[in-house]
Structure 1
Amino acid sequence: MVEPHRTTDQRLATLRQRLANVPHLPGVYIHKSSEGKVLYVGKAKNLQNRLRSYFTGLERHTPKTRALVARIQDFEFIVVDNENESLLLENNLIKHHRPPYNILLRDDKTYPYLKVTLEEEWPRVIQTRRRKSDGGAYFGPYSNAAELQATQSVVQRFFPLVKCTPNVFRTVTRPCNYHSIKRCLGPCKLPIEKAIYSDLVERVLSLLAGKTQELGQKLKVDMQTAAQAMNFEKAAMVRDQLRALEKLAQQQSVTLVPGFDADVIDFAWSSSAVAVYFAVVRDGKLIGGNAHVIRDGLERVVDLSLDDKSQPARIDMEAKSEFVFQVVGQFYSTHEIPPQVFLPTGDDFLSAEKKEGLNLLLKALENEQAERQERSPKDIQLTCTLIPGISKKMRGAQRKLFVDAFAGLCEMVSENAKTKLQESINADDAAQRRMSGIQEFLSLPRLPNWIECYDISTFQGGSTVASGVVFRHGLPAKNEYRKYTIRDVVGQDDFASLREVIRRRFREERRHEIPDLLLVDGGEPQVREVAWVLKSLGLDSVPLVGIAKSRTRSDFRAKNIRASNERLVLPRRNENSELNPEQTPETRILQIGSPEFQLITQVRNEAHRFAISFHRKKRDSKSLRSLLTEIPGLGPKRRKVLLTEFKSIENISKASAKELVEKAGLPSAVADNVIAFFTANAQQKKGSTESG
């Protein structure tokens, strides 16, 4: 690794010397920072030539590449046997490390999914806005809330799966009302065969996957079989499922031929962002859509010199192909790959080389998914045409109907991408106005694209915590939020707690990561404390501001204090812009309703919310941990093993007796005591809620 304190010329010279050890072979390379953080992952047919291009001819690099090279302190490389292996390895490394200089596809959490909780003993169907690799089956996301509610309603009414959470499931004493109205089989207390329940789950999976024709045929056979066996109750239940299935199928907004499984993808481009929309078609029906907006990594793709960011972008076609390759590859590394994937037409969209590479990557990802799911891999076909191969098997009117329906679907996907892009541009414009207002109001040297805010939360000196929230380009960057448990402060001392948090935030390995604006929740005392810390760390350049309520009395007899504008507190600086904490800070009044007021209060409120939620969770966890001492047979060693194995009290409360025995090594009797403790605790909470 290059020594971080060397000059730029020395650093580049050392990196160039290392190139002699890099082979002229295909592989994957990794650029790293001085802290060992992965900055960029790439692949190359010739590793030495590609790596050499970074450290020579710097004047020809794009601004983003120059910024990357300025941070590279080390690089690694992995030689691979073939292109297929390099495609998959690059994709996996990007997914694992999330490098800041790669094009990253982030999940759009705007739309919800339906999830079948296959990881649970008795699976159920729930709504969620976050897709995880937890063994569950996810369907969607649903851009139409009415469609999601209709689908979930059909499942809840006609497919009697469990409705309650595993914790409630364990604590009930009798089947609930859902069982009484035949919307749950009641496995919590009734002897239900696993095979019967599993068959019900399979039907729900088929329904949500859009395989309505296949499921319908199976339901008809089951209904006839039940009727012939004179099991009329079951026959009636299956009949209702069949009717619900037919009604749901009629509600599909786009219908193609049965058996047609595909994803249709389109992009919308501007000079500030790119929107991509994935339409999901299963068994000929549109069952969901997935929208993403990407703002990072566009320097090489689009011309950023356009003043009007809403205008169509001037695009570098080679870079565009690489961009499409990265986005589609990342999407399918976490989503099911259908037999056919359709991209927009034209060689200018995806070069022949990139199309071949993407085909290889999709097939490699499908093989990986098939092996994980213990099934045979599907034959994947990537198509850059509006006419799917399946249409060639049709003739006459049927072919025309299908082609027209598919063309309508492609047009809808294109419009959805454009709409998503316009929504993003509108949001960016609003954020730009707010950030410009803050810059002007506070006389900041640059636009506050990167804002951090810190808040302390405590209650009677116990479980003191802090939150750090981050806003990028005027929007919350929740993956960068941080929680702090105060370690070095005894009792209630908000000032000492704030000093500790700021020191930890600007520890040596992160000292160069300077936000455009640092907010603290508090007035003059808090700002002075933080200013002393920043000065001691040599960080006088950090733009520091405190935010506090500005309160006035309506008249001298008023008992209540009326809230008015916000008060911003700025530390004093000398003629060299160095912090001067000894002097009384400057106060500026932020007018209610102004663009800068909207963003600053949003950031402060988010920091406050995040701190309080963390504090409550920690306080509740601490309370339960102390209660663990009341469980018979659970001494200090066993409590430590439990927390080590299960990570949290919540996980312990959800564990079965078998898991407690196998993972934590508890005797069966002690495991039963743990189950009984959490069962009683849940019932007590339920009782207090109902009485309240």
Structure 2
Amino acid sequence: MSKLSSNAIHDPQAFDERLRNVPQAPGVYLWKDANGKILYVGKSKSLRERMRSYFGAPRGLSGKTRRLVAQIADFDYILTTTELEALVLEMNLIKQHRPKYNVLLKDDKSYPYIKITLQETWPRIFTTRKVLDDGARYFGPFASAGSVRATLKLLNKLFHFRPPFDCSDVKFERHRKAGKPCMYYDIRRCLGPCVPGLTSVEEYRKAISDACLFLEGKSEQILRELRHKMQQAADTLEFERAAYLRDQIAALEKVLERQRVLKTGATDQDVIAFAREDGSAVVQVFFVRGGKLIGAEPFTLEGTDDTDSRELITQFLTQFYDSAASIPSDIVLAEHPEEAEIIERWLEQKGGHRVSITVPRRGEKKQLLDLAARNAAQKLDELRLKWLNTSQRAIGALTELQQLLDLPGLPHRIECYDISNTQGTHTVGAMVVFVGGAPRKSDYRRFKIKTVAGANDVAALQEVLRRRFRRAQQAQGELVAIAHAGDAHQPPPDLADASDPAALADPRAEGQEVDERWAELPDLIIVDGGKPQANAAQAVLDELGFGHLPVVGAAKGPNRDRFDLQLPGAPAPIVLPRSSTALHLVQQIDEEAHRFAISYHRNLRGKATFASPLAEIPGIGPKRKQALLKRFGSLDAMRQASVEELAAVPGMTHRAAEELKRLL
């Protein structure tokens, strides 16, 4: 019998029997805790042997693995035909479940890419976070949006395509209709495709093609063509064009001089090195194309405590290249990953060409690898300093808040509420959550006010708080009868108007799903406003049995140059001095709540004012409405358009256009 030292296993004998029956075959295994949550996903060419190894002598396990084993209560496994299938399945399961004990590429779903819309007549180049099979070309991923913006700015300076941040289709069509280009044409940052006659489709698409070649590292080809065109322009006495091309060549040569890193061969390779310390790890990737360094991106890893270096490299390679837009023929590493041959076969399948993993010991590649390692170490130091400073500032601010408000402990979880409306219409509420001084956006919530008419922020705030803490009661299974059930001015609970007292006591009795996250209570509640808001919030908390939770109002000073904290029932507010660390934290929380509330309010208001008139017109469905808004941009533009222009919109008919024109 295995040494099942895990405290979470309910029946060790039955668990061990299941382990004995696991096949000696390739596949993927999933360790789970007592609640069925996946703790770790792994793969092996021999599942039984690998899974039983977790329950051997504890001294042979790393600290991270011992912590994992202590939480294991159950497992699943999936058989595969080959080790390569197991690798792909493991990768997909890690991406889907993001288990706590796996090495994870931080925020891998949100990395930005450069997108080139080759399928369009006048292609655009811009940033995106989704890679679609839509005929466009993608480059990336990049570690941050800042690096993408810098790359796009450089590309636009060199090749003069449509400005990546300021040329929407609506603006493009507006200038085409006016027959006049925008300022980017005047400052030589755009060829002016919006105005017929300024450039041809062939010339513009050549600029886009050159941008692609530049991102591929094939800049020498671009230079040869530009020099040839400059000579032709000079020979035909087109000196202004020749000077324009000369400046473009000089700018490109200046960039290439900074990029050139390899003296031998026009090779395509990714050079990957990592640095790690105290459970943190940063991977630095150098993108070398055609012997030139075209990009360098640092990526942060999570869950690297006590992880073997070879496993760390393996997990990074599979997660990074699963979403990479392209794979080079050569990947340079400091050491071989686990099952290097399987990784190579998988990369070859994804890239459609031969891929080799090399570990240089000397020469130019080793020097480049050492440079990448130094960059990774530098980035790790920067991140650790940033994390340390952020943590210290947060603890200082929370400690000051605790002292100012006489709280029993540090306010680890803070919830802040704000109300937004326009003259009493489209009133909404917002709840933002800060944990440890940092925003936890997954816990943000927004509320559409249902029972308050007109501009009454205090009543709207009370509705939001009642709904939030009714949900807390539901999640805790402690929902009690409503004391104000006969009061028409109070909102109903957030159940589906349950009339059965049993359903009110336990919403699960009606088969309703309850979000358990509502059960997590704040250590401090901040409401935007002064004494009226603070007193109203306290009244709701007392009413629902949460009066023990601290609540405070955050009000800007008379000249909006400070923040005052107003305790319920207190005669005067607490004025936070400018040097206060608590001031900066409260200001950050309050502004985030305001931003979240007003963005939701604007969204509702925009839908009501922009879409409703179209929705009420017979014959204008969602597709026609979307096409009309895309073509004209606003209702005013539609009013000014002729029936023929309206009928020319895809999906419209002449009859529908006439009816739309009549009603607008």
TM-score (norm 2): 0.70
* Equivalent residues in 2 for 1:292-303, closer than 5 Å: 292-294=299-301, 296-298=302-304, 300-301=305-306
Change (3 A) 1:609 1:230: same
Measure the CA separation in 2 of the matches of 1:533 and 1:518. 16
Q: Does structure 1 retain, via aligned residues, the 8 Å contact 2:284–2:373?
A: no
1:367 aligned to 2:356?
no
1:529 aligned to 2:540?
yes
Q: Does structure 2 retain, via aligned residues, the 8 Å contact 1:291–1:420?
A: no
1:599 aligned to 2:600?
no
1:413 Cα deviation (Å)? 4.6
1:145 Cα deviation (Å)? 7.8
For residues 518-576 of structure 1, the C-alpha deviation after alignment (integer angstroms, 9 at most, x for no partner) is: 534252322442465575xxxx9xx9443423678xxxxxxx57765542759xxxxxx
* Equivalent residues in 2 for 1:630-669, closer than 5 Å: 633-634=619-620, 638-639=621-622, 666-669=651-654
Measure the CA separation in 1 of the matches of 2:95 and 2:659. 38
For residues 181-231 of structure 1, the C-alpha deviation after alignment (integer angstroms, 9 at most, x for no partner) is: 665344334276655433321101222343322322343455567778998
For residues 632-664 of structure 1, the C-alpha deviation after alignment (integer angstroms, 9 at most, x for no partner) is: 731xxx23x668x99x9789969xxxxxx9xx9
Q: Does structure 2 retain, via aligned residues, the 8 Å contact 1:483–1:611?
A: no
Q: Does structure 2 retain, via aligned residues, the 8 Å contact 1:264–1:413?
A: no
1:337 aligned to 2:335?
no
For 1:166, which of 169, 183, 191 is the aligned residue? 169
1:201 aligned to 2:208?
yes
Change (3 A) 1:175 1:650: closer
1:92 aligned to 2:78?
no
Measure the CA separation in 1 of the matches of 2:452 and 2:44. 54
- Shifted more, 501-510 versus 666-675: the winner is 666-675
What residue number does 2:425 align with?
462
* Equivalent residues in 2 for 1:118-197, closer than 5 Å: 118=118, 122-126=122-126, 131-134=129-132, 135=136, 137-138=138-139, 141=142, 152=153, 155-156=156-157, 158-161=159-162, 164-172=167-175, 173=177, 174-177=179-182, 178-179=184-185, 183-190=189-196, 194-197=201-204
Gaps of 5+ in 2: 1-6, 476-513, 529-533, 635-645
Measure the CA separation in 1 of the matches of 2:624 and 2:450. 27
1:546 aligned to 2:551?
yes
For residues 157-181 of structure 1, the C-alpha deviation after alignment (integer angstroms, 9 at most, x for no partner) is: 6434466111212333124144466
Measure the CA separation in 2 of the matches of 1:671 and 1:386. 72
3-state SS of the aligned residue for 2:608? helix
Measure the CA separation in 2 of the matches of 1:642 and 1:57. 68
1:270 aligned to 2:252?
no
TM-score (norm 1): 0.67
Measure the CA separation in 1 of the matches of 2:144 and 2:358. 25
1:146 Cα deviation (Å)? 11
For residues 297-324 of structure 1, the C-alpha deviation after alignment (integer angstroms, 9 at most, x for no partner) is: 24x42xxxxxxxxxxxxxxxx5343233
3-state SS of the aligned residue for 2:611? helix
Gaps of 5+ in 1: 1-6, 302-317, 345-349, 371-376, 392-401, 553-559, 571-583, 655-660, 681-692
What residue number does 1:379 align with?
354
Change (3 A) 1:15 1:243: same
Change (3 A) 1:76 1:650: farther
3-state SS of the aligned residue for 2:536? helix
Change (3 A) 1:673 1:602: farther
For 1:217, which of 218, 224, 236 is the aligned residue? 224
Aligned residue identity for 1:549: A
1:117 Cα deviation (Å)? 5.0
1:608 aligned to 2:594?
yes
Q: Does structure 1 retain, via aligned residues, the 8 Å contact 2:282–2:376?
A: no
Measure the CA separation in 2 of the matches of 1:84 and 1:110. 27
Aligned residue identity for 2:156: V
For 1:415, which of 349, 353, 378 is the aligned residue? 378
- Shifted more, 597-606 versus 10-19: the winner is 10-19
What residue number does 1:250 align with?
257
Measure the CA separation in 1 of the matches of 2:343 and 2:310. 14
Measure the CA separation in 2 of the matches of 1:11 and 1:628. 63
Q: Does structure 2 retain, via aligned residues, the 8 Å contact 1:115–1:138?
A: yes
Measure the CA separation in 2 of the matches of 1:485 and 1:600. 22
Q: Does structure 2 retain, via aligned residues, the 8 Å contact 1:26–1:83?
A: yes
What residue number does 1:395 align with?
none
Q: Does structure 2 retain, via aligned residues, the 8 Å contact 1:342–1:383?
A: yes
Change (3 A) 1:251 1:586: farther
1:442 Cα deviation (Å)? 6.5
Change (3 A) 1:631 1:410: same
1:356 Cα deviation (Å)? 4.0
Measure the CA separation in 2 of the matches of 1:59 and 1:431. 38
Measure the CA separation in 1 of the matches of 2:390 and 2:144. 18
1:497 aligned to 2:464?
yes
* Equivalent residues in 2 for 1:390-469, closer than 5 Å: 407-408=370-371, 410-437=373-400, 451-469=414-432
1:496 Cα deviation (Å)? 1.2
Measure the CA separation in 2 of the matches of 1:19 and 1:652. 65
1:245 Cα deviation (Å)? 1.4
Q: Does structure 1 retain, via aligned residues, the 8 Å contact 2:141–2:323?
A: no
Measure the CA separation in 1 of the matches of 2:346 and 2:190. 41
1:82 aligned to 2:82?
yes
What is the number of equivalent residue pairs in this alignment? 584
Q: Does structure 2 retain, via aligned residues, the 8 Å contact 1:34–1:72?
A: yes
Measure the CA separation in 1 of the matches of 2:33 and 2:366. 51
3-state SS of the aligned residue for 1:260? coil
What residue number does 2:27 align with?
27
Change (3 A) 1:20 1:166: farther
1:323 aligned to 2:285?
no
Measure the CA separation in 2 of the matches of 1:97 and 1:74. 16
For residues 445-491 of structure 1, the C-alpha deviation after alignment (integer angstroms, 9 at most, x for no partner) is: 8766655544343334433334343445533344x253424275453
Measure the CA separation in 1 of the matches of 2:35 and 2:450. 25
Measure the CA separation in 2 of the matches of 1:277 and 1:620. 43
